[in-house]
Structure 1
Amino acid sequence: MNELVERTNILIIPLVFFFIFSIPFSVISQSLTSEATILLKLKQEFGNPEALQAWNISSSSSLCNWPGISCSVDGYVSALIFKEMDIIKEIPGTICELKNLTYIDLSYNLIPGNFPTVLYNCSKLVYLDLSQNYFVGTIPLDVNRLNTLRFIDLGANNFTGDVPGVIGNLRELRSLNLYSNLFNGSFPEEIGNLENLVELKMAYNGFLNSKLPQSFGKLSKLEVLWMAETNLVGEIPGNFTNLSSLVQLDLSSNYLEGKIPDGLFLLKNLSNLYLYKNRFSGSIPSVIEAFSLSEIDLSMNNLTGTIPEVIGKLQNLELLNLFKNQLHGEVPAIIGKIPSLKHFKVFKNNLSGILPPELGFHSKFESFEVSDNHFSGELPENMCAGGTLLGVVAFSNNLIGGVPKSLQTCDSLLTVQLYNNNFSGEVPSGLWSVKNLTSLMLSNNSFTGQLPEKIAGNLTRIELSNNKFSGGIPGGVSTWTRLVVFEASNNLFSGNLPVELTNLPQVITLNLDGNSFSGVLPSEISSWKSISKLNLARNKLSGPIPRAIGYLPRLLDLDLSENQLSGEIPPEFNQLRLITLNLSSNQLTGKIPHEFDSMAYENSFLNNPNLCATSSISNLKDCNAKARESKKMSSRILAIIVVLSVVVFLFSICMTLFLVRNYRRKKLKHDLESWKLTSFQRVDFTEVNILSSMSDSNMIGSGGSGKVYKISIGQEGDFVAVKKIRTKGMLDYKSEQEFLAEVQILGSIRHANIVKLLCCIASDDSKLLVYEYMENHSLDKCLHVAKQRLGKMVLDWSKRFEIALGAAQGLCYMHHDCIPPIIHRDVKSSNILLDSEFKAKIADFGLAKILFKENQPNTMSAIAGSFGYIAPEYGYTTKVNVKTDVYSFGVVLLELVTGREANDGDDASLAEWAWKQYGEGKPIEQALDKEITEPAHMEGMTIVFKLGLKCTSALPSSRPSMKEVLQILRNCKRLDGHEGMSRSVSLDIAPLLADDRYFSNYKRGSKKRSDQTDSSLFISSE
């Protein structure tokens, strides 16, 4: 791709000189001061950006030395390069008074407005770059008036509608870039008329479902075609095999189907082929002549057949992604000899046979993912010969033998996942302590040996269940302080549980069931403050149950069954809020704690003959049996009296209900006449439907301003959410203002990521706001409450990322697309609602504020927001702007990526905690939610964590805008972890986090790297 940029420059630079030397010599005699005057006027009209302060007509230097100016050899201005100058004004017509102007670069600014038709007057314009700005609207139908253009880049703006067909009349175009906009119409087949086109980039737009035009097959000079995620359907046209100059083809994340044309693999210049996440079927062609291929990604399709042996002849191949298909057969041995291969991912297929033994031996391997297949034989011995291997992911196969000994010296290794195979023998001693290892997952094999005294300092997950490990737990376990998950069920471990085992402050899951541990449980168990699951069942443990277990604040699952425990169940158990409890088959005595004295725990105490209960648990003795016998007679007499009393009472109630019902019917008719419905959307219900269903049985929540009800409005399971705001009483003024703010804002805006206000229903003392019903309630409930109650993760990383992206789109719309802008002022996880598909929508606009003076802060009379989400500037000023929402959203990002609450009871808020973790140089992986820290997601989660840090910067000026946040999240979406694959992309943005200009710089230089991968706008550290 760098070669493509160089070739483009070769095209552009001579062109610029051509126009310079074509200026008649007679013009040279004119005074150049006129151009200086034009430039100074232009500077003023652009708002006097700081980058142009050096422009000064009184200076002794020539205007050709002014920043952003390039001149012809005759001294006339030929190029304006105003990239990254923080320009916030529209492009003025003055720019075309520079009659020799051929080159304009205004990229990476904040320029608003529609497409700048004033540029039609620049009669010699050849190069136009308007990318990464805030342009809106449609591309005009007369854009072909720019008929001298050879390069145009409109990427990363907010253009909408159709791409006009007249763009096909710009016959001089070499490069047409329209990527990352909001186009929601069609793109024209007339683009196929651009016979000189070298580069076509239209990726990441919401075009209407369209087929690839046959006319595109005529672009014989085309080197780059990038149309990822553009709603393409149908098949790839057969004449695409005529694109003989093609270097990069990216049609990923569409709905293409049919067979991949064999001719694509015959394009000898093709280097990068990305067709992942489509619906292609058929087999991979067995004839490949594109020997320049360096990256092949055909993952997540419906491909069948075998992996062709000819792939092994691609000596430049670095990435081979074939995962999530239906491929079968063996992996050709020749693939192991490719000298450049770095990434080999074929997981989730039906492949079998022996893995090529030379994989990794001839190249610097980074990724090896072959899980969920039917491979047999042993793992390749030299996968880490290059010293760059990051992970071995080979679970769920039929592999045998031992762990390759070479892995114990592979310091780059992060994860080893070999579970569900037929491995045997001892684990190499050095593997336990590989420097960067974070997870070792060996369950369901036949491994033997003992646990080591020392493990890697970064190791957070050890899974050894269902093997043949033996011996005891070593005293050195006290140094395993970062361990979060330790699963060693169903092995041959024995001996006492050492007190050192309790020195694991971060452990969440501890499963040691099905072994032969004996002795008493350590009383120091209370140090396991984070543990949620403890399973010590089916051992030989004896003695009493430690009282300290009752003080474990996050314990949800406890299983101590099938041991020899004795004594009473500690009363401290009443403090636990367990989801599952199993104390069966022990020797326990006495009463069970009253918290568990119910039928819900009926099977929790089986085979403990000396336990008793006060409820009707069938398998336990009755603690009050004798007392009940003595009261049996008196109970009969009392029962007769009670029956007679009940009969009299019920008769009285019936008469009362009859009279009350008659009264209520009359009153309801009067009350309904006092309610008025005002709709903001088309609704199929009336105020009667709503009012008649507002009962406590339908209430789903309550807050400071009122109650919320879930109400059915149809026969097919349609519901609405109704918020009742009572405006009569002490809170009259505050509630009235919140009601007006909600109606004013939600009644006038429309966005897919903002909750719909359907209507309001008002009376003299109450007001009802009727919204669309969100089936999955709020992010707070799904992320925190459900996890506490259910003890399991509800949202995986893919859902969390889409929620972050959706919420960012809603806030970006409020801040940048609403006129005037809107500040929410109470962004938090409980105000981000989720529909049935977990799509995020911003809600609760009661505290929102409309900025009537754009870009000017408004003064608030009181602090608004929620603790943990409030920006620090609230402590010293009452002026707020959109950056307060950015801070709160940053906290939400940190919640999503760490799993922690904004205020979880610690002294510091989540934002302060995260900055402290980062400032102390601790690995970011340590801060992430341990339940979703899979290698495939690590890169994306790390970026979102750092983005959350930047959004929560103490200084508002250091925070990005929501538009910049949204762009970063969209770029991050292209990352491998989120899309289910892992491309070799360097995204280390850590050096930029210390730079307050990071988010004005994040866009800089990103394009270079994108051209080397999938041409998306990745964050880079340039």
Structure 2
Amino acid sequence: MLGRWNSAYAPHCNWGGIACTKCSVTGISLPNQTIVKPLPPSICLLKNLTHLDLSYNNLSTSFPTVLYNCSNLKYLDLSNNAFAGQLPSDLDHLSALFEHLNLSSNRFTGNIPPSIGWFPRLKSLLLDTNQFDGRYPAEDIGNLLDLEALTLAANPFEPAPLPVEFGRLTRLVLLWLSDMNITGEIPESLSSLRELNLLDLSWNNLEGKIPTWIWQHKKLQILYLHTNRFTGEIEPNVSALNLVEIVVSVNELTGTIPPSIELLPKLTDIRLSDNMLSGSLPPELGKHSPLTNLEVSNNNLSGELPEHLCFNRKLYGIAVFNNSFSGKLPSSLDGCYLLQNLVLYNNIFSGEFPQGLWTVVTNQLSTVMIQNNSFSGTLPTKLPWNFTRLDISNNRFSGPIPTMGGKMEVLRAANNLLSGEIPWDLTGISQVTEFDLSRNQISGSLPMTIGVLTRLNAINLSRNHISGNIPAAFGFMTVLTILDLSSNKLSGEIPKDFNKLKLNFLNLSMNQLTGEIPTSFQNKAYEQSFLFNPCLCVSSSNSLQNFPICRAKANISNGAITCALAGIMLLVLAVIGFMLLRRKKRTQDHLSWKLTPFHALHFTENDILSGLCEQIWIGSGRSGKVYCVYTGDRASGGMMVAVKKIWNMQNLDNKLEKDFLAEVQILGEIRHTNIVKLLCCISSSEAKLLVYEYMENGSLHQWLHQRERIGVPGPLDWPTRLKIAIDSARGLCYMHHHCSPPIVHRDVKSANILLDPNFRAKMADFGLAKVLLRAGEDESFSAIAGTFGYMAPEYGHQLKVNEKIDVYSFGVVLLELITGRVANDGGEYYSLAQWSWKQYQERGNGLSVDLLDEGIRDQSSHVEDALEVFCTCCDLYWRAAFSATINERCTACTSPI
């Protein structure tokens, strides 16, 4: 435009942006010209200039006071520039202004001067979207009686109530006052603004009830009151018949949505989300108006969606998530071809999903989020081309997975009844970033074409029936961060190309994978990623725990190949014979297994036996190894159990047999929340198995003394330790006082206290337990049992057993919890008990925080409690350098807790 400002080209009145009257310039309109230089003073030599529009440029000076000399200027638009600083106090020098002053979208700061109100004939005052952080002259602005448009929005003014003076501006058509720190209630004086077409008071701190006059305004079309703190109910008689948009979301409104809203003839957009509204939607909503958008999410609404919601075929958006809506979707949605966004998640909808919404040709639908309902039905053969986000998780959709294409970015269909194979043609969704088909009934193999999903960030196909090998194409998904293929039937080796991946989360557990785990994943960060794949291995014992070392592959020379081939036939014959004998023997063994249940079981002995493998052992004890086995049907949800395997060997005496019988006899009858649950026992002529509930957090010993080995994030805090101590004490109390006959554990120690996911403690390992056949009488044993460091001193001399030896051992556990030391460290004092007594003798009441474990020292609010428990134990429990009897010590360490 400015390139044609040349007198040789044409007279100035023909230049772009110039308006003339009788060859005299009266208007300059140069928006979007990237002007950066300040306005020249000579501009006001144009004595007849009445109109100046320099909006959307790059002017960055202070307010151009050179315009004061433009004596006839009536219209001034300097919006969308970078003018900064404070407005001058003498703005009234622009005395001719009576039409329009627009300074919006700049960087003005400070106060708005009172002189802004000294333009009595001004019709438009637009000061929104600046950085005014002071005050605005409400009284002076209230004198602009001819104003038709007033905008002060989007400025960080000092908090102040909505001015009653604005009620004098009775000619206002547009009032935009959002996001400017308005407080208090809407004054009644504003009810005089009878010409209002748009009222926007959103994003403030207004409170109280929305005035009745607003709901009954005769000319109001646009009402924005969202993001405030309005309370109370919506006026039951909404008679503002010109209302087109009602937006009062994010408030604290209660009560029901009045039926009168459904009769507003021009209503297109209603947004009431994030309130506390209850009841149902007006039954004829959408029937009497061209409704285009409905948003009522995050309320307490219930009932069914109105039958005529899309009666006029104008609806493009529905958002009703996080309510209690139920029933089927209205039939009018089946032909709602303009619908773009359907967001219904977290409700109680049921019935078949309308098939018309899947229409490929005419459908405009792009976002469908209907997860966490009870929808049923099948998906179309092919999804609409313009779908960008589809989430149908946690419903009851069935049938095959459709072919996908178009603009799909997110696909979630977890926990449905989808079956069949994943389509091979994935080229149409190459831009998808999230793909979740977990917990379905998908079978077949993974398509090799999955490598085309190069933008994929997360993929979850867990808990299906997928078989075959893992495609090497996964290794080329460079932006992949989450991969979950667990609980399937995948086999073969993990592709070496996995070493190229940078995953934050990987889960390949509960499959049938073989071979070496890719080296980049052989570290503690992925310790839980490969569980229950018995045939996986690692290259070093210093990498992942509980996986065997891979056997080195032999290097066969060319000269040895001939000899190897010559022996293959003999080897094959030998193997066939061996396998036939092996199968026969295995069949006999399986027939000889006997299962004795103690609780209702959802697995069989075959589930346990087939899951046992040396690669999945999680620990070993005095009488056998312990394994972690996944049982049951993976598709319907199995369970994890701990299996203790006790072998009978000829070179051992009957001691192991007695251990087994003792544990079965005791635990099979015990029912207590703080004693580990024995689910069943399985025995044969060769081995005996005890099947327990699985305790996910392992033993207390691991959390106190092996944190680095098990990879836990930090030490236990004092409240958790105290809870563990109380749970353990309750378990022992039940054994000693509520069992008939009473039970003595005889091996109470931190390794035999197991922890569930919530760190609730349970006593375990009763291989040394002894039932007191005559309650109240001591029992003698021919040999010492227990663990050094936890045994009472006199027990080794007297060999007398009663429940008080467990109490002594419990005291040692309590000292472990307090100090973080092991029960027997082989040091100067040989045991933790002796060390504690020595510290107490030397320091008395001067005990310091250095006695405590590191997990307690930093918790200043609990240090005193922990030291008090330590003192009480030492004072009562170990008094007189162990000369006290067990009876005198038996309750000392339980009293503090």
Q: TM-score over 0.5 for the alignment?
A: yes
- Tell me the distance in 1 between the aligned counterparts of 2:281 and 2:547: 53
- Tell me the distance in 1 between the aligned counterparts of 2:331 and 2:512: 46
Q: 2:322 aligns with which of 368, 372, 377?
A: 372
Is the counterpart of residue 114 in structure 1 residue 62 in structure 2? yes
Is the counterpart of residue 135 in structure 1 residue 92 in structure 2? no
> Do the aligned partners of residues 384 and 115 (structure 1) sit closer, same or farther apart at CA in structure 2, a change above 3 Å counting?
farther
- Tell me the distance in 2 between the aligned counterparts of 1:345 and 1:524: 42
- Tell me the distance in 1 between the aligned counterparts of 2:344 and 2:363: 19
Is the counterpart of residue 277 in structure 1 residue 224 in structure 2? no
Could you say which residue in structure 2 is the equivalent of 1:419? Answer: 371
> Do the aligned partners of residues 69 and 488 (structure 1) sit closer, same or farther apart at CA in structure 2, a change above 3 Å counting?
closer
TM-score normalised by the chain length of structure 1: 0.51
Is the counterpart of residue 487 in structure 1 residue 442 in structure 2? no
Does structure 2 retain, via aligned residues, the 8 Å contact 1:360–1:384?
no
Could you say which residue in structure 2 is the equivalent of 1:882? Answer: none
Does structure 1 retain, via aligned residues, the 8 Å contact 2:398–2:418?
yes
Could you say which residue in structure 2 is the equivalent of 1:597? Answer: 544
How big is each residue's C-alpha offset from its partner over 1:555-610, in whole Å with a ceiling of 9 and x where there is no partner?
33232333344x44435354678556333334326557556436999xxxx97632
- Tell me the distance in 1 between the aligned counterparts of 2:424 and 2:74: 74
Post-superposition shift, 1:502?
5.6
Q: 1:240 aligns with which of 178, 184, 190?
A: 190
> Do the aligned partners of residues 291 and 507 (structure 1) sit closer, same or farther apart at CA in structure 2, a change above 3 Å counting?
same
Is the counterpart of residue 324 in structure 1 residue 274 in structure 2? yes
Q: 1:460 is aligned with what amino acid?
A: E
Could you say which residue in structure 2 is the equivalent of 1:96? Answer: 44
Post-superposition shift, 1:371?
0.9
Post-superposition shift, 1:354?
0.4
Pick 1 or 2: higher relative contact order, CA cutoff 8 A, min separation 6: 1
Post-superposition shift, 1:554?
2.4
Over the aligned positions, Cα root-mean-square deviation in angstroms equals 3.2
Post-superposition shift, 1:392?
1.1
Unaligned runs of 5+ in 2: 549-609, 629-897
Is the counterpart of residue 555 in structure 1 residue 507 in structure 2? no
Is the counterpart of residue 394 in structure 1 residue 340 in structure 2? no
Is the counterpart of residue 381 in structure 1 residue 331 in structure 2? yes
Q: 2:613 is aligned with what amino acid?
A: P
Post-superposition shift, 1:513?
2.3
Is the counterpart of residue 407 in structure 1 residue 407 in structure 2? no
- Tell me the distance in 2 between the aligned counterparts of 1:557 and 1:78: 68
Could you say which residue in structure 2 is the equivalent of 1:436? Answer: 386
Post-superposition shift, 1:355?
0.2
SS in 2 for 1:293: coil
Pairing of 1:341-740 with structure 2 (within 5 A): 341-383=291-333, 385=335, 387-409=337-359, 410-427=362-379, 429-430=380-381, 432-452=382-402, 454-476=403-425, 481-501=430-450, 504-522=453-471, 525-541=474-490, 543-548=491-496, 550-565=498-513, 567-570=514-517, 572=519, 574=521, 578-579=525-526, 581-588=528-535, 593-594=540-541, 596-597=543-544, 609-611=613-615
How big is each residue's C-alpha offset from its partner over 1:454-480, in whole Å with a ceiling of 9 and x where there is no partner?
222333332222122223334445765
Could you say which residue in structure 2 is the equivalent of 1:305? Answer: 255
Unaligned runs of 5+ in 1: 1-49, 622-1022
Could you say which residue in structure 2 is the equivalent of 1:177? Answer: 126
Post-superposition shift, 1:124?
2.8
Name whichever structure is richer in helix by fraction: 1
Post-superposition shift, 1:51?
1.2
> Do the aligned partners of residues 552 and 214 (structure 1) sit closer, same or farther apart at CA in structure 2, a change above 3 Å counting?
same
Q: 2:615 is aligned with what amino acid?
A: L
> Do the aligned partners of residues 450 and 198 (structure 1) sit closer, same or farther apart at CA in structure 2, a change above 3 Å counting?
same
Could you say which residue in structure 1 is the equivalent of 2:5? Answer: 54
- Tell me the distance in 2 between the aligned counterparts of 1:117 and 1:498: 71
Q: 2:406 is aligned with what amino acid?
A: G
> Do the aligned partners of residues 539 and 218 (structure 1) sit closer, same or farther apart at CA in structure 2, a change above 3 Å counting?
same
Is the counterpart of residue 266 in structure 1 residue 213 in structure 2? no
Pairing of 1:772-811 with structure 2 (within 5 A): none
Q: 2:104 is aligned with what amino acid?
A: G
Post-superposition shift, 1:214?
0.3
Post-superposition shift, 1:331?
0.8
Does structure 2 retain, via aligned residues, the 8 Å contact 1:585–1:608?
no
Does structure 1 retain, via aligned residues, the 8 Å contact 2:546–2:618?
no
How big is each residue's C-alpha offset from its partner over 1:326-348, in whole Å with a ceiling of 9 and x where there is no partner?
11111112212144221111111
> Do the aligned partners of residues 552 and 289 (structure 1) sit closer, same or farther apart at CA in structure 2, a change above 3 Å counting?
same
Pairing of 1:805-824 with structure 2 (within 5 A): none
Could you say which residue in structure 1 is the equivalent of 2:795? Answer: none
Does structure 1 retain, via aligned residues, the 8 Å contact 2:272–2:296?
yes
> Do the aligned partners of residues 595 and 535 (structure 1) sit closer, same or farther apart at CA in structure 2, a change above 3 Å counting?
farther
How big is each residue's C-alpha offset from its partner over 1:94-137, in whole Å with a ceiling of 9 and x where there is no partner?
33333333322233333343323333333333222222233222
Q: 1:583 is aligned with what amino acid?
A: F
Could you say which residue in structure 2 is the equivalent of 1:863? Answer: none
> Do the aligned partners of residues 337 and 572 (structure 1) sit closer, same or farther apart at CA in structure 2, a change above 3 Å counting?
same
Post-superposition shift, 1:83?
3.5
- Tell me the distance in 2 between the aligned counterparts of 1:402 and 1:620: 45
Percent identity over paired residues: 37
Q: 1:148 aligns with which of 80, 86, 96?
A: 96
- Tell me the distance in 2 between the aligned counterparts of 1:528 and 1:80: 57
SS in 1 for 2:350: coil
Aligned residues: 560
- Tell me the distance in 1 between the aligned counterparts of 2:532 and 2:348: 37
> Do the aligned partners of residues 594 and 109 (structure 1) sit closer, same or farther apart at CA in structure 2, a change above 3 Å counting?
same
How big is each residue's C-alpha offset from its partner over 1:136-173, in whole Å with a ceiling of 9 and x where there is no partner?
22222222233331121111222211111232221111
> Do the aligned partners of residues 158 and 496 (structure 1) sit closer, same or farther apart at CA in structure 2, a change above 3 Å counting?
closer
Q: 1:426 is aligned with what amino acid?
A: T
Is the counterpart of residue 164 in structure 1 residue 113 in structure 2? yes
How big is each residue's C-alpha offset from its partner over 1:163-207, in whole Å with a ceiling of 9 and x where there is no partner?
112322211111111112221110111211111111101111121
How big is each residue's C-alpha offset from its partner over 1:228-257, in whole Å with a ceiling of 9 and x where there is no partner?
211212211121111001111112212222
> Do the aligned partners of residues 495 and 593 (structure 1) sit closer, same or farther apart at CA in structure 2, a change above 3 Å counting?
farther
**Greater displacement, 494-503 / 104-113:** 494-503
Does structure 2 retain, via aligned residues, the 8 Å contact 1:555–1:578?
no
> Do the aligned partners of residues 339 and 532 (structure 1) sit closer, same or farther apart at CA in structure 2, a change above 3 Å counting?
same
Q: 2:71 aligns with which of 120, 123, 148?
A: 123
Post-superposition shift, 1:521?
4.3
SS in 2 for 1:187: coil
Q: 1:71 aligns with which of 20, 23, 26?
A: 20
Does structure 1 retain, via aligned residues, the 8 Å contact 2:517–2:538?
no
- Tell me the distance in 1 between the aligned counterparts of 2:478 and 2:90: 68
Post-superposition shift, 1:414?
0.9
- Tell me the distance in 1 between the aligned counterparts of 2:452 and 2:116: 68
Q: 1:328 is aligned with what amino acid?
A: S
Could you say which residue in structure 2 is the equivalent of 1:187? Answer: 136
**Greater displacement, 394-403 / 307-316:** 307-316
> Do the aligned partners of residues 107 and 587 (structure 1) sit closer, same or farther apart at CA in structure 2, a change above 3 Å counting?
closer
Could you say which residue in structure 1 is the equivalent of 2:819? Answer: none
TM-score normalised by the chain length of structure 2: 0.58
Does structure 2 retain, via aligned residues, the 8 Å contact 1:526–1:549?
yes
Does structure 1 retain, via aligned residues, the 8 Å contact 2:225–2:249?
yes
> Do the aligned partners of residues 187 and 497 (structure 1) sit closer, same or farther apart at CA in structure 2, a change above 3 Å counting?
same
Post-superposition shift, 1:549?
6.1
Does structure 1 retain, via aligned residues, the 8 Å contact 2:476–2:497?
no
Could you say which residue in structure 2 is the equivalent of 1:81? Answer: 29
